[in-house]
Structure 1
Amino acid sequence: MSLRLLADIGGTNARFALQQPGADGFADIEVLACSAYPTIGDAVRAYLAKAGARGLAVEGLKHAALAIANPVEGDEVGMTNHCWRFSIAALKAELGLDTLLVVNDFAALAMSLPHLKGEQRERIGGGVEQPGKPIGLIGPGTGLGVSGVVPCGARWIALAGEGGHASFAPVSKQEMKILQALWEEYGHVSSERLLSGLGLELIHRALAGQRLSAPEITGRALDGSSVACRETVETFCAVLGSVAGNVALTLGATGGMYIGGGIVPRLGRLFTGSRFRERFEGKGRLSPYLARIPTWLITEEYPALRGVAAMLDDDIDTQR
């Protein structure tokens, strides 16, 4: 049985893997920088060439699934946080595939959530997950992903939306100051404006008047060399808690609320010791409701690949 291609494509990196149908793990994983390739087709071919050079049987590959950081509505896909634009049908023909499934990356990530094991997640705060209930997901990275899964009989259905672009709602004078600064620059201010790599930089600029990169801000916050950078990260975590609470309320996510994306795992103790959980629960009369919902940090390295593999299984089954 031939291998199949899986990918998790963000605004910065594209993570590729090969998998034997029915296998739990992956035959090969490689991360490529999106900026290094003019088109998504170029990136796919570069990965397959490298995998072939490593001795993997990539000839005759017929099934592929791509999770991409963008809405997927119809045949044409244009990435929000990168320049790649493509036709799904044309890419399928270009690569000689029988099946090409293209889905929202956070919908794919959400599909992995019901199957994560203890060592693939870290509890943040209290709460008890309710089996068979909706599960929420939020994840800051290049952008802000928002999704979830809802039960449907024995299956789970992933929700593909763009909740990261919903309007940001401040809950303190400090956050009003940030919002005022961003209003003047952008007009509409979404949660993603704050909860992303660029968001860290914008928060720091609004609070400290300094232009630093996101890695510089987190680095100085972690090593204790900058009080201002520490305050920026604390603000970021607090805002993330408020937005995560909004998502949990909207979905009724009593099955749990998960944090993914590339930023939070790098924050370490700054996140686990932050006001995230306090702000998650801080919803007035609904605070007791949210206190019962557990929050988890995803520690599995490639969860979206597992999710998109499950979605490809379902897609192939429906074609039979």
Structure 2
Amino acid sequence: MARQNEHFPFPILVGDIGGTNARFMLLTDAAAEPQVFPILQTAKYETIDDALRDGVLPQASSAPRSAILAIAGPINGDEIPLTNCPWVVRPKAMIAELGFVDVMVVNDFEAQALAVSTLGEEDQVKLGPGEPLSGHSKVVLGPGTGLGVGGLVHALDAWIPVPGEGGHIDLGPRSERDYQIFPHVEELDGRISAEQILCGRGLVNLYRAICIADGQEPIFTDPADISTHGLAGDNKAAAEALSLFVTYLGRVAGDMAMIFMARGGVYLSGGISQKILPALQKPEFRAAFEDKAPHQALLGSIPTYVVTHPLAALAGLSAYARAPERFGVSTAGRRWRK
């Protein structure tokens, strides 16, 4: 097993691979400005190796020797499938065929968690009251293609990211309106997980359930249309879908804050959170976040943010790549070397 603070040989390619998009950045040394590559759509490439071979490596200013990749899915073994994308990451094949000598794979929300330990005030927008306590745990939630959740714990003078699949926890009805809508929410194997509502397709799922509950015909099938009309307030069902989306996101964010005792803050990442920022700044999100009797005072003291850095996960991976000794990132079963 590689020591967790052992450095990676430069140049280092860092990558954030989601269900829809893949983003890459090249670090030629520990101090150099990164080379940022154009965003790749995963659907346009059959494999990640094809994407690297055709969309990244030909443009690289120098051939990368190491790769640190954040992927949306659990990491078990030498073949690592993504949860919401048909790609499979095969580090041994990348070393054999693409010229890498060192490859590490982490969970995508480990990367998001690493990012919030380094982001400045200019990279986030605060929602509601509360101030972060130095050295205390943080939580990141990211509604996107799915719902990602990651924790960040400070111990032994290092930030330790905690990966997981928190987006798949159960989400249930609470209000009278919830009980009207939830019977029409599409289930997954007999249950409604948070990700069935709190992601792009989940917003569509929620909107359709609202329409069915009200005896209306759904007219939108794209989450961007629902969020756009919801923000504009020119479609009642879309507006309610967006309002309930931020309410349910507040509930889940509050749950995660209590699980991790995240007095360092709760951070909402990803493109959806940025796009619906005006809705998140309304009272519903914080009201749901704090409505955790008997712990309203505790939740009221915990700050919440929207991460606005356009490449937050890559920023987190870059910080780790430059100085791995600052972070307690486990490499066991996740690092392969030539």
TM-score bracket, normalised by the shorter chain, equals: over 0.9
The Cα shift of 1:186 comes to 4.7
Residues 176-187 of structure 1 mapped to structure 2, 5 A cutoff: 176-182=179-185, 186-187=189-190
* Aligned position for 2:246: 237
* Aligned position for 1:152: 155
Aligned equivalents of 1:177, 1:314: Cα separation in 2: 51
* Aligned position for 1:44: 52
Which of 274, 298, 304 is matched with 2:307 structurally? 298
Aligned equivalents of 1:269, 1:290: Cα separation in 2: 21
Residues 1-320 of structure 1 mapped to structure 2, 5 A cutoff: 2-23=10-31, 25-52=33-60, 56-57=61-62, 59=63, 61-182=64-185, 186-209=189-212, 210=218, 212=220, 213-313=222-322
Q: 1:146 to 1:24 in 2, by over 3 A?
A: farther
Equivalent AA in structure 1 for residue 181 of structure 2:
I
Q: 1:28 to 1:289 in 2, by over 3 A?
A: same
Contact 1:204/1:211 (CA < 8 Å) preserved in 2?
no
Contact 1:6/1:308 (CA < 8 Å) preserved in 2?
yes
Find the residue that maps to 1:288 and give its secondary structure.
helix
Equivalent AA in structure 2 for residue 166 of structure 1:
I
Equivalent AA in structure 1 for residue 230 of structure 2:
A
Find the residue that maps to 1:101 and give its secondary structure.
strand
Find the residue that maps to 1:139 and give its secondary structure.
strand
Equivalent AA in structure 2 for residue 119 of structure 1:
E
Equivalent AA in structure 2 for residue 144 of structure 1:
L
Contact 1:237/1:274 (CA < 8 Å) preserved in 2?
no
* Aligned position for 2:215: none
Contact 1:101/1:312 (CA < 8 Å) preserved in 2?
no
Aligned equivalents of 1:50, 1:98: Cα separation in 2: 18
Aligned equivalents of 2:250, 2:188: Cα separation in 1: 25
Aligned equivalents of 1:206, 1:24: Cα separation in 2: 50
Aligned equivalents of 1:294, 1:206: Cα separation in 2: 32
After superposition, the C-alpha distances for 1:153-202 in whole angstroms (9 at most, x for unaligned) are 22111001000011113221222333322366751211000000011001
After superposition, the C-alpha distances for 1:247-286 in whole angstroms (9 at most, x for unaligned) are 0000010111111122111113222114001100000111
Q: Could you state the TM-score of these two structures normalised by the residue count of structure 1? A: 0.92
Which shifted more, 276-285 or 208-217? 208-217
Equivalent AA in structure 2 for residue 115 of structure 1:
T
Q: 1:229 to 1:86 in 2, by over 3 A?
A: same
Q: 1:150 to 1:2 in 2, by over 3 A?
A: closer
Aligned equivalents of 1:244, 1:5: Cα separation in 2: 32
Q: 1:280 to 1:43 in 2, by over 3 A?
A: same
Equivalent AA in structure 1 for residue 242 of structure 2:
V
Aligned equivalents of 2:24, 2:43: Cα separation in 1: 15
Equivalent AA in structure 1 for residue 247 of structure 2:
A
Any unmatched runs of 5+ in structure 2?
Answer: 1-8, 213-217
Contact 1:106/1:146 (CA < 8 Å) preserved in 2?
yes
Equivalent AA in structure 1 for residue 116 of structure 2:
L
Aligned equivalents of 1:134, 1:198: Cα separation in 2: 30
Aligned equivalents of 1:261, 1:147: Cα separation in 2: 13
The Cα shift of 1:3 comes to 2.7
Equivalent AA in structure 2 for residue 46 of structure 1:
D
Moved over 6 A (4+): 316-319
The Cα shift of 1:42 comes to 0.6
Q: Could you state the TM-score of these two structures normalised by the residue count of structure 2? A: 0.87
Q: 1:164 to 1:184 in 2, by over 3 A?
A: closer
Aligned equivalents of 1:169, 1:178: Cα separation in 2: 11
Aligned equivalents of 1:164, 1:178: Cα separation in 2: 20
Among all aligned residue pairs of Structure 1 and Structure 2, give the percentage whose two residues are the same amino acid.
36
What's the C-alpha RMSD, in Å, of the aligned pairs? 2.1
Equivalent AA in structure 1 for residue 87 of structure 2:
W
